[in-house]
Amino acid sequence: MKRTLFCAVVLTALTGHLSAGELCRDGTIDLFGLARYPEGGKLVEGVELYEVKEGGGLRVPAAGVLQADDAAGLQVRTVDRLPRPEDTFIGYGRGWANVSNTPFREYKHFSHEGGISTPLIVHWPDGIDPARQGKLVREPGHVIDIMATCVDVAGVEYPLRFAGHKILPLEGVSLRPAFSGGPLRRADALYFEHHLNCAVRDGDWKLVRKGRLGRPCKLLPWELYDMSKDRSELHDLSAKHPEKVAELSGKWEAWAARARVKPWPWEFEEGR
């Protein structure tokens, strides 16, 4: 039996835009940023909320909604899920999400490096030279490359039609050349968009911006970084290289139209 190709994406871009047990502005309690439950609603499995009365250690299971005046003594206890001292507040929020991705900026949801960068581990005894085992490849890849790699390794052609219908072509490129130390044959840049957080990576240049969902939504200005010197995205070069901003933003707009990212389904502030 042939030993097959195995790929594993290691999720380091931690989600955590709201803390577990963090009291929200509307007085509700947000559980691990997953959902907000109304009073009497079902709690997330494996998580118990406790309201600690002032002046004593009495703990009673709390309702799914806690008002602001109940928050002073709030503790969250996870049940057989996370290592922690007993009855310790567990708060994996924005701060911890950023720390977990140090030295990169932001976390899952954003298109800065902390939100999009994660290792890919490849195991393929019959296809990777033993001399290459344990080697680190620094050339950027993308999740869109996984399908292209599987098609290449399987030695098949990606279909143009399925069940009588025309289907979208592959977007990515095969990662197979990287298995032998060669460069990827990518003809275009890499593009990103998630909840208005946008980016384009073209060679060493990366153009990235944040967006804010709301009523109305807002797109923030583009930021420009040289990934060969500043992968932590600390030195915005957009003012120094406006021509590069114009070039890359134009490429992103063309991709967004082709890939059906746009038109946006939301209303925006004027002057977006």
For residue 97, the tally of other CB atoms under 10 A from its CB is 24
Residue spans of alpha helices (H) in the chain: 94-100, 113-116, 144-154, 176-179, 242-258
pLDDT of residue 270: 60
- Angle, vertex CA 244, rays to CA 260 and CA 202, nearest 5: 55
Mean pLDDT, the chain, as a whole number? 74
Could you tell me if 206 and 199 are in contact, meaning their C-beta atoms sit under 8 angstroms apart?
yes
Please check whether residue 5 lies inside any domain of the structure. Answer: no
Please check whether residue 234 lies inside any domain of the structure. Answer: yes
pLDDT of residue 101: 84
Q: What are phi and psi of 6, to 5 degrees?
A: -130, 130
For residue 35, the tally of other CB atoms under 10 A from its CB is 12
Please check whether residue 129 lies inside any domain of the structure. Answer: no
Could you tell me if 16 and 115 are in contact, meaning their C-beta atoms sit under 8 angstroms apart?
no
Tell me the sheet residues that pair with 206: 201, 225
Please check whether residue 144 lies inside any domain of the structure. Answer: no
The residue out of 92, 113, 137 marking a domain boundary is: 92
Better pLDDT: 93 or 43: 93
pLDDT of residue 253: 96
Tell me how far apart the 2 most distant CA atoms of the chain are, in Å. 71
Please check whether residue 12 lies inside any domain of the structure. Answer: no
Please check whether residue 11 lies inside any domain of the structure. Answer: no
Please check whether residue 159 lies inside any domain of the structure. Answer: no
* Angstrom distance (rounded) from CA 16 to CA 108: 8
Count: domains in the chain? 2
| CATH for 214 | 3.30.1120.10
- Buried b vs exposed e over 147-158: b needs ≥16 C-beta within 10 Å? ebbebbbeeeee
pLDDT of residue 166: 93
The residue out of 56, 73, 92 marking a domain boundary is: 92
Better pLDDT: 262 or 272: 262
Across residues 251-267, what is the average pLDDT? Answer: 91
Residue 181's pLDDT band, with cuts at 50, 70 and 90, is confident
Please check whether residue 232 lies inside any domain of the structure. Answer: yes
Tell whether the model's pLDDT for residue 159 goes beyond 50: yes
Tell me the sheet residues that pair with 110: 108
Which residues span the domain enclosing 246?
A: 188-258
Across residues 106-133, what is the average pLDDT? Answer: 89
115-124 pLDDT, tens digit each: 999 888 998 8
Tell me the sheet residues that pair with 230: none
Side-chain-side CA neighbours of 208 within 13 Å: the count stands at 26
Tell whether the model's pLDDT for residue 224 goes beyond 90: yes
The residue out of 92, 113, 132 marking a domain boundary is: 92
Output the DSSP codes for 169-198.
Answer: PP-S--SHHHHTTPPP---S-EEEEETTEE
Across residues 119-130, what is the average pLDDT? Answer: 88
pTM score of the predicted model:
0.69
Tell whether the model's pLDDT for residue 83 goes beyond 90: no
Tell whether the model's pLDDT for residue 94 goes beyond 60: yes
